[in-house]
Chain A
Amino acid sequence: MSHSTSEPLPDYRTQDPAVAARFAKIKERPVVLEIDRLGRQFPGEHGPVTALRDISLQIHRREFVCVIGPSGCGKSTLIRIIAGLDDPTSGRMLVDGKETSGPCPERGMVFQGYTLFPWLTVKRNVMFGLEMDGMSSAQAESEARQWIDLVGLRKFAENYPHQLSGGMKQRVAIARALAPNPRVLLMDEPFGALDAQTRAQMQSHLLEIWRNVDVTILFITHDLDEAILLADRIVVLKAHPGEIQEIIEVPVPRPRSLAQLQSPEFQATRRRLDELIHPKVHAPSDHLPIVRLTQIGDDVE
């Protein structure tokens, strides 16, 4: 949150020409995923609860879109609907212009909890989607090997998931989701359970993979820096009901790296996200009503 620069931050909407040109190019590409006034209600104790309302979004081919929002705002509900694992109560979803519903390998998914098949080796996990498609075992195996190489796990192809670290598991999950050549890769807080260092590594891995693979990514996170680092556009949701608050075009130029964390564009975007997600509350102080339980003079600060 601290920025060392003394000069005022630029507006997060100002884009330098290269970035602006990039966005113009993205918008020329065909729309891969379109959701149109999507809504989802859950039955609650006191009548239906609206988890999502009127979500409309168009994602272009090979765009990287992050969805961010406070906990419970419906991020998971949204991505599960897009994956076909949940049904919307209103609205439509189109992939490549065709209305779809239900799970399908054209929309691959990476879950926060890895969900690797523990009885299969890394290689057979990655082969799973290919075999479901009816591909012969030999061909599936050679394709799986390419994906495993891509995520840098060649040495672990014959290992079982329980023998891998969290970051490695998530790389297998990414390879597994990418193997059937999805149009869209959906990721629900995929790095949420990883430690800070592994998480940073995985972020650059993911950018690398995205550069080399023809895939559009919709990525959910609650980490603001992660969203800015990865995304072309950031969809900010608000809670109760879950609605789109703003869609931000990230002005940070590509290729991205952690070194850009202190750049003015990054900081400006960061400040805007902070305003949206943690709005300034006026009156209440953030002191807890705690009675002093230590002796006078026994201070830790």
Chain B
Amino acid sequence: MSRPRWFAVRQDLSPSRRRLLGVCAFLLPLLLWSIVSYVPFIWHPNIKVTDAGDVSWMRPGLQFDRHEFAKEVAAAQSAGTRPPAGIRANPIYLPAPHDVGRALYTAFTTKPVLKGDLWLHESLAMSLKTIFWGFLISSAVGVPLGILCGAFVAASRLSEPFVDFVRYMPAPAFGALMVAVFGIHLEPKVAIIVIGTFFQQVLVVANTVRKVDGGLIEAAQTLGAKRSQLVLRVLLPASLPDLYNDLRILLGWAWTYLIVAEVVGVSSGITFFINQQAKYRNFDNVYAAILIIGFIGLATDQILAFFGQRFFAWKNPRSSRLRAFITRLFSRRDQPLPEGQP
């Protein structure tokens, strides 16, 4: 057989190729960013002044548009005064990778500008707390209601039209209202996240429960299962792996609502940090904070996916490579895990 192709319709790739592409998925954007940042003749629309010359209103370190700067240089030359000098630079809102890399560390160590402001880690903790409560409250009501809607058409008809209607109202629109009701601290922010996720959650969960194979219900009925048993012993366990995945995806939604939630009332959390840093034009810190959100999101998702694989081994007979990797990691020290145990 010839070497397998890179692009074959719906064919899986070898593990090494998959890994390679996974790394490239991150390296390519980084490469693009590096090229734009480090190759002076690509983009770099500004000039950073190194020597103001005789131009009275220029200061070293300031940035000017390249064409304006060229005009000043030409004017100075024709007037016979000393022209300003400078190097090409990117706008301040696009720091180079190494600046952001450094900021990923220094952002945690820089003291808050104002007394009473929070450190980065405190801001993060605040955001996580908001997400946690918002998602917990939403799920505590949304998941059971979704399951009811998926199980009983009457429940679905009674609640879903309204839920569908509210779903289209943007959660931030409720911001002022929530502040009026809940005050200006944590509560209205949690409420915004609840509003943002709850209505989606009901619909998504209901749909997942509806996808359970009707044959399983019929089989359970012929085995004597009654109504509540059909819900609790068939629909629920049958849809649990998919519900788990739904919640994983909805948690991602909750993060997007976090940013609007945090500007409601007293601005707080990671959003406040980002806004403060942008105000002081520390854009490297801004990027660092955004990246940290990305890392937290990716890490939670991967951890949840990993546990999902373990909980629902019956659903994914093919053990994941991450799972195999971690199994190997631990089995070096401990006993090897017994085969086929979920």
Contacts and interface: CB of A to CB of B under 8 A. Distances in A.
Nearest to A105: B224
A85 B224 contact: no
B222 A105 contact: yes
Interface string B213-249: 1011011111111100100011001101000000000
Interface of chain B, helix or strand or loop or mixed?
helix
Given A115-B216, A117-B238, A119-B237, A85 B314 contact: no
Given A132-B225, A132-B226, A115 B315 contact: no
Contacts of B238: 117-119
Contacts of B22: none
B317 interface: yes
A177 B219 CA distance: 9
A147 B325 CA distance: 39
Nearest to B213: A115
A115 B218 contact: yes
A129 to B, nearest CB: 4
A117 B216 contact: yes
Contacts of B233: 128, 132
A115 B240 contact: no
Interface in A169-193: 176-177, 180, 186
Contacts of A74: none
Contact of B223 (A118, A163, A176): A176
B317 A108 contact: no
A113 B214 CA distance: 11
A254 interface: no
B240 A103 contact: no
A232 to B, nearest CB: 23
B215 A113 contact: yes
A147 to B, nearest CB: 13
A128 B213 contact: no
Contacts of A129: 223-224
A120 B233 CA distance: 11
Nearest to B230: A132
Contacts, number: 75
A108 B237 contact: no
B223 A115 contact: no
Interface in B258-312: 312
B215 A128 contact: no
A117 B237 contact: yes
Interface residues of B, number: 24
Nearest to A133: B224
Contacts of A66: none
Contact of A180 (B216, B223, B226, B240): B223
Contacts of A128: 220, 223, 225, 233
Nearest to B226: A132
A84 interface: yes
Contact of B314 (A115, A160, A180): A160
By size class, the interface of chain A is: 20 to 34
A111 B223 contact: no
Nearest to A85: B218
Interface of chain A, helix or strand or loop or mixed?
loop
Contacts of A133: 224
B318 to A, nearest CB: 10
Contacts of A132: 220, 223-226, 229, 233
Contacts of B240: 119
A109 interface: yes
Interface in B175-212: none
B331 to A, nearest CB: 22
Contact of A118 (B221, B225, B229, B314): B314
Contacts of A116: 219
A162 interface: yes
A83 interface: yes
A104 B222 CA distance: 5
Contact of B222 (A103, A160, A161, A162): A103
A53 interface: no
B234 to A, nearest CB: 7
Contacts of A105: 222-224
A85 B217 CA distance: 10
B222 A177 contact: yes
Contact of B219 (A84, A107, A109): A109
Nearest to B342: A160
B62 to A, nearest CB: 66
Interface in A74-118: 83-85, 103-105, 107-109, 111, 113, 115-118
Nearest to A107: B222
Contacts of A177: 222-223
A132 B317 CA distance: 28
Contacts of B215: 111, 113, 115
A43 B61 CA distance: 82
A221 B238 CA distance: 29
B249 to A, nearest CB: 21
A109 B215 CA distance: 11
Contact of A119 (B220, B222, B225, B314): B314
Q: Which 4 A-B pairs have the closest CB atoms?
A: A129-B223, A105-B224, A103-B221, A115-B219
22 contacts: A85-B218, A104-B224, A107-B222, A108-B223, A109-B218, A109-B222, A111-B219, A115-B213, A115-B216, A117-B216, A117-B219, A117-B234, A119-B314, A128-B223, A129-B224, A133-B224, A160-B313, A160-B314, A161-B314, A162-B317, A180-B223, A186-B222
Given A105-B224, A117-B237, 9 more contacts: A85-B218, A85-B222, A105-B223, A115-B218, A116-B219, A119-B315, A132-B224, A132-B225, A132-B229
Interface of B: 213, 215-216, 218-226, 229, 233-234, 237-238, 240, 312-315, 317, 340
